[in-house]
């Protein structure tokens, strides 16, 4: 009996979602946050990207066409990448601790975290999510997944810029130096 890769990938995403849900109860109170318009733009884009990736959405001859062969070994490689991405995002989320929020915010007593995955990328949660999405894309290999990835990437970049603005305002001495030392999403690249 073959290992059900698609079920396992779904479990990775559910586990990450549960970590977010439980962690939300342990966050510090919010001091400042992004505007509702900024948040709405990010959420709308992310939702559209998720629709492209979800199995309940867009179908058709081109959008559902595969760009990789439908083999077990390719699906298994996609699963391995998804696991690595979700573990990296979870590590980053746990390292951020009570400073975390689902929106761009500054928490009461906010700390600038620069250790662990934050020494590798300034936004390692997004790095992990994008890596996990890349693995999910490899396992499914349909064009709509790539389109969803591009939309989610745009949403995360918008949110990342909002977070960067808040961090520069909150840590005017430390954050610019941190930005010079550590890339935003992809170590040594971007």
Q: What is the pLDDT of residues 117-168, one digit of tens each?
A: 999 999 999 999 999 999 999 998 888 888 899 999 999 999 999 999 999 9
Q: Does 59 score more than 90 pLDDT? A: no
CA distance 75 to 78: 5
Task: Give the pLDDT confidence score for residue 51 in this predicted structure.
Answer: 86
- pLDDT: which is higher, 3 or 171: 171
Alpha helices in the chain (DSSP H): 5-24, 36-53, 72-96, 124-140, 143-170, 174-181
The per-residue pLDDT for 151 is 94
CATH code linked to domain 29-181:
1.20.120.1630
Rounded to 5°, angle at Cα 66 from 64 and 71: 130
How far is Cα 97 from Cα 29, in angstroms, rounded to an integer?
A: 13
- What residues contact residue 157 under an 8 Å CB cut-off, 6+ apart? none
Residue-by-residue DSSP string for 121-168: -SSHHHHHHHHHHHHHHHHH-BHHHHHHHHHHHHHHHHHHHHHHHHHH
pLDDT band at 26 (very low <50, low <70, confident <90, very high): confident
Query: Cα dist. 172→28, 79, 123, 157, 182 in Å?
Result: 21, 40, 18, 21, 16
DSSP state of 182: S
Rounded CA separation 118/167 (Å) = 14
Q: What is the pLDDT of residues 81-128, one digit of tens each?
A: 999 999 999 999 999 988 888 888 888 888 999 999 999 999 999 999
- 0.85 exceeded by the pTM? yes
């Amino acid at each position: 009996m073959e290992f059900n890769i698609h079920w396992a990938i779904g479990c990775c995403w559910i586990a990450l979602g549960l970590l977010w849900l439980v962690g939300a109860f342990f966050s510090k109170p919010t001091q400042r946050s992004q505007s509702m318009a900024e948040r709405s733009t990010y959420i709308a884009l992310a939702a559209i990207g998720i629709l492209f990736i979800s199995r309940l959405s867009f179908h058709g001859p081109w959008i559902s066409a595969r760009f990789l062969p439908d083999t077990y070994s390719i699906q298994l490689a996609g699963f391995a990448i998804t696991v690595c991405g979700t573990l990296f995002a979870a590590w980053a989320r746990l390292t951020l601790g009570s400073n975390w929020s689902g929106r761009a915010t500054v928490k009461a007593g906010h700390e600038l975290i620069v250790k662990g995955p934050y020494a590798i990328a300034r936004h390692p949660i997004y790095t992990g999510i994008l890596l996990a999405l890349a693995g999910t894309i490899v396992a499914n290999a349909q064009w709509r997944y790539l389109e969803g990835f591009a939309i989610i990437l745009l949403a995360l970049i918008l949110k990342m810029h909002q977070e960067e603005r808040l961090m520069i305002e909150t840590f005017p001495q430390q954050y610019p130096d941190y930005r010079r030392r550590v890339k935003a999403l992809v170590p040594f690249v971007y």
